[in-house]
A and B are shown apart, each in its own frame.
Chain A
Amino acid sequence: MILWEALQYEFMRNALAAGILASIACGVVGALVVVRRMSMMSGGISHAAFGGIGLGYLLGFEPIYGALAFTIASAMMMGFIRERTEISEDSAIGILWVTGMSLGVIFIGLSPGYAPDLFSYLFGSILAVPSSDLAVMVVLDAVILTVVYFLYEEFLAVSFDEDFAKASGVPTERVYLILLSLVALTVVILIRVVGVVLVIAMLTIPAATAWQFSRRLNEIMLLSSILSVIFTIEGLWLSYIFNIASGATIVLVSVATLLLASALKKIFQ
């Protein structure tokens, strides 16, 4: 009931829409991330986004476009490092992570005046999503779903057995770059909802929970999108009632559900 009352406000309706749009992306791409064991990679890409946000403040453009540029660039860089250098992926992720954050902090320090909504980029501000951002999210979702529709078999094969996929003629390097780019787009969508720091949670927790109850990749994608919508609404509702940070609440609700699901699965097996 409280939720219906809350939905009279535009910001609440926008929050709900943003939550659902973000859930589609993080459910579908999150499934690929957990199956391919790329959660740390997505953490690296999301923290790199902070550099772009800082640049936006410094040069006076919309920070979310800075985030988009930085995440895509870092995805390309990770692909390059993996294919063309001897640097281990693990170290590369660490370097990307801290470089992004450091650049962000320095850019913001150099910007004139005070950065009022800095905190919201770090930890999310789903209650302050403007309608214009919703439009961007719709476009990004459409791109993600189209790409996953066409490359589903390739993503599955490359995650299962990369050598075999390559020997079957799949351009595995390009497929991996595209996957990294999807992660980058998803990160940009999720920054609005849970912020740079908590993105990794939304990319991994719903998918990991869904995996426990699915046999096939497409089932994980569907179930984790649904779970993610549920987590978002639950989190929004609790944060509205108790007047606490919405992004963090969504994440904690997800973690609690994951733990509960694991426990239930143990008991009933």
Chain B
Amino acid sequence: MNEVIRLEDVWVRYGDIVVLEGINLSVYEHDFLGIIGPNGGGKTTLLKVILGLVKPVRGRVTVLGDTPERSRRFVGYVPQITLFDREFPATVLDVVLMGRLGRKGILGKYGKEDLKVAYDALESVEMLELKDRRIGELSGGQLQRVLLARALVANPKILLLDEPTASVDEPTKTNLYKLLKKMNDKVTILLVSHDMGVISSYVEKIACLNRKLFYHGSPEMEGEAVEETYQCPIYLIAHGFPHRVLKKHKRGK
């Protein structure tokens, strides 16, 4: 299997504070990897490292066999929804087209092809009808789907999602995961979240992040110690990495 993301002994610091400590991670083609961990555990930072937006103070990051900067155009990014200006003057379509920025070149204009791809992506997340809505007028779930469409129009090989279900109700969550599952044939997916409710029934591999990354085979800690440190139930990772606990789980029920 092809290794598409590789982190070797990656350390990140903000000022004096160590946010990521000695992270080793391998993600393979067509993986659907979930990383869970408490707020402030460094999940967003980890994704930014993979995108080359945050520079590690130590360690090596390889994406598709190259530096993060050079591989950026093959990586789709769905950032965590943060507070943004609800009055921001852009429509849903304007925002989705931003995913084509890297393709059109800095002095270029969006063309017919860009529009077509944007319409298709909006269709696939069932948001085409609202394409002329102002971006600030959407609900949390609608906004999340638009941001997913924006990442998809770049036709990425790797998709990074940051808390994609944070402000979304249960049915929407399930739909979103089903949609991701469907796309998983074509793209490698890495999803981070502090919410392990639905995540565990869809992803194939899980790791826990709280400054350090813990996955099956990590040395040094066992059972309750892991649950305390990572605030992450041990049964999710105990049986193997990679593993498919919840599939087994479901059958057992």
Give me the interface of A with B, judged by CB distance under 8 Å.
Answer: 35, 150-151, 153-154, 156-157, 159-161, 163-171, 211, 214-217, 219-220
B101→A217 contact, CB < 8 A: no
Which segment of B17-25, B31-39, B73-81, B233-241 sits at the interface?
A: B73-81
A170→B99 contact, CB < 8 A: no
A211→B87 contact, CB < 8 A: yes
B101 closest partner in A (C-beta): A168
Contact A154 to B89, CB < 8 A, known contacts A163-B53, A169-B72, A169-B101: no
Number of interface residues of B (CB under 8 A): 31
Q: Would you call the interface of chain B mostly helix, strand, loop, or mixed?
A: mixed
When distances are taken between beta carbons in the complex, the residues of chain A under 8 Å from B90 are: 156, 160, 216-217
A152 closest partner in B (C-beta): B109
CB distance from B1 to the nearest CB of A (A): 26
B97→A215 contact, CB < 8 A: no
Contact A215 to B102, CB < 8 A, known contacts A161-B79, A167-B51, A168-B72: no
A164→B79 contact, CB < 8 A: yes
When distances are taken between beta carbons in the complex, the residues of chain A under 8 Å from B83 are: none
A-B pairs under 8 A by CB, number: 74
Pick the contact of A153 from B53, B75, B97 — CB < 8 Å? B97
Pick the contact of A168 from B84, B94, B98 — CB < 8 Å? B98
CB distance from B97 to the nearest CB of A (A): 7
B48 within 8 A of A: yes
A157→B101 contact, CB < 8 A: yes
A219 to B94, CA, bound (A): 13
A1 to B26, CA, bound (A): 77
> Which of A165, A166, A167, A171 counts the most chain B CB atoms within 10 A?
A167
Given contacts A159-B88, A167-B53, A168-B72, 5 further A-B contacts (CB under 8 A): A150-B107, A161-B84, A165-B98, A167-B51, A167-B77
Pick the contact of B88 from A35, A164, A166 — CB < 8 Å? A35
26 residue pairs bridging A and B, Cβ less than 8 Å apart: A35-B88, A150-B107, A151-B106, A151-B107, A153-B104, A153-B109, A154-B106, A156-B90, A156-B98, A157-B98, A157-B101, A159-B88, A160-B95, A161-B98, A163-B48, A163-B77, A164-B98, A167-B52, A167-B77, A168-B72, A168-B99, A169-B101, A170-B101, A170-B106, A211-B89, A216-B90
When distances are taken between beta carbons in the complex, the residues of chain A under 8 Å from B184 are: none
CB distance from A149 to the nearest CB of B (A): 9
A157 closest partner in B (C-beta): B98
B133 closest partner in A (C-beta): A215
Pick the contact of A216 from B53, B77, B91, B154 — CB < 8 Å? B91
A153 to B99, CA, bound (A): 11
CB distance from A171 to the nearest CB of B (A): 7
